[in-house]
Amino acid sequence: MDPNNQPPDVTRTGKYVISPGLDRMFTNLSDVHRFVTRFFKEVFFPPYEWKEIIKQFYEIGVRSLPLISLTGFITGIVFTNQSRPSLSEFGATSWLPSLISVAIVRAMAPLVTALIAAGRVASSIGAELGSMKVTEQIDAMEVSATNPFKFLVVSRVLATTLMIPALTLYTIFVALLGGYINVHQNELTSFATYFDQVFGAITFLDIFSSLIKSFVFGFTIGVVGCYKGYNSSKGTEGVGKAANSAVVTAMFLIFIEELLSLQIITALRPY
């Protein structure tokens, strides 16, 4: 093959032919590694931007409650309705509270919370930091002797990492409440009986694994949103791309992490 006639979509390095797409992927992975490494270097050393951290707690946690409440409540009702016909075929509708608790605590609550947060929080962070990058506010902070990375990135990643587990616990409660309303309406199960079966079906490992997954999901949402916004391209078009890319990437990584965590937890779970 004549090296002068090689396709325009490859570059030759020594005796190896490297695709620009592959080269770009490794470059992005290197940038992400440096970004995450810098976060861990900054997060363990003062000073801390406590006002900004508390503000992000409010923006990420409190402002997400209406959407999380509605989504969790509907999830509990829909899952209960969908599960009842299958159990009814075997005359096992009395197992419905146990099934609801296992499904919601182990998988549905952490995943639903993370996906809702990825759609709302990751896009918001990506758009906010992207607009600051476009308008050169981040450069102005560096000139004014303020550490923009600690102020903008560390505070937001900390807030998502700590608030997503709290929102997950809230989602569990709301979803179980929605399930109870549906069960009580159809089987006339009392509140005490329902929650006795709910807590009898779950273990400490179920709750602990859900919280650990939520911490990982929260960290992923924060890092992806901040990275996309902090490194957005110039121009107003870059803001939209940063917000959209933050949501898509965060959701994709959440599903990958859910799959990996399921394998690990299944291996640790006693039967």
Give the type of residue at 165.
Answer: P
Single out the residue of 271, 154, 169 nearest to residue 215, CA to CA.
Answer: 169
Give the residue ranges of the chain where pLDDT is below 50.
1-2, 13
Asked if residue 42 lies in contact with residue 154, where contact means CB atoms within 8 angstroms, the answer is yes
| pLDDT of the residue at 19 | 65
Own/partner pairs for 91-97, CB < 8 Å, 24+ apart?
A: 93/187, 94/187, 96/179, 96/183, 96/187, 97/179, 97/180, 97/183, 97/189, 97/193, 97/194, 97/195, 97/197, 97/198, 97/201
Q: And the tokens for 131?
A: 């607009």
Give the type of residue at 89.
Answer: E
User: What is the DSSP-derived secondary structure letter of residue 269?
Assistant: S
Looking at the chain, the whole-number percentage of residues with pLDDT higher than 70 is 91
C-alpha dist (Å) from residue 218 to 22, 30, 263: 28, 22, 20
Give the type of residue at 133.
Answer: K
| pLDDT of the residue at 6 | 52
C-alpha dist (Å) from residue 173 to 95, 104, 112: 19, 9, 13
| pLDDT of the residue at 31 | 84
pLDDT digits (tens, 9 = 90+) for 63-91: 999 999 999 999 999 999 998 888 888 87
Domain chopping of the chain, boundaries: 1-45, 49-268
Predicted TM-score (pTM) above 0.95: no
SS3 198: helix
| Separation CA 208–CA 236 (nearest Å) | 42
